[in-house]
Amino acid sequence: GYILAVVGFVGALSQAVLVGRVVHALGEKPTLLLGIALNIIGLGGAAVTHALPMFYLLVGVATVGGSLGLPCLTSLISQSASAEEQGRIQGVVGALESLARIVAPIWGNSALGYSDTLPYISAAGLLALALTLAVRIKPHVAHKGTIQQGL
């Protein structure tokens, strides 16, 4: 129960206080990359620590990473679509987020049957793949003639 409280509190606080400030200071793509990196550090560290306080701290780091990264990812995807495609693109993004929220707990619980560390290591591995893809995001000319970040 405590871990869910930590995730909920840290996530809400990060969304309310950090996201806007960090995006304003760094921009959306760098904030996305930072968020993914924090997620990797937090989940990878949670896999190897044996101290409960450190585990909570690392889960908090991963939560901050998720709170920073997801809004930026959604924004960058949205910016890459024309006005006519916005609804469809946002629908696809929402569906993929929902699918991930269904599959991840099932995978994590199943992975626990093999190893206490496997859920965290596999999540960090998938995030490392996401980081390599996110690094490749390049500026493109938007449909309105302005330069924006896009996929």
What pLDDT sits at residue 18?
94
Q: Which of 126, 129, 151, 128 is nearest to 140 (CA)?
A: 151
Cα–Cα distance, 71 to 128 (Å, whole number)? 18
What pLDDT sits at residue 79?
86
Q: What's the pTM?
A: 0.85
What pLDDT sits at residue 70?
92
End-to-end Cα distance, the chain: 38
Consecutive sets of 10 residues in the chain, 151 residues long: mean pLDDT of each?
Answer: 87 93 95 97 96 95 96 88 87 93 94 95 96 84 45 46
Cα–Cα distance, 92 to 85 (Å, whole number)? 11
Q: Cβ(24)–Cβ(71) under 8 Å? A: no
What is the separation of C-alpha 39 from the centre of its chain, rounded to a whole number of angstroms? 7
Cα–Cα distance, 6 to 13 (Å, whole number)? 10
Residue 145 makes CB contacts below 8 A (sequence gap 6+) with: none
Architecture of the domain delimited by 2-142: Up-down Bundle (1.20)
Token duo for residue 29? 């793509």
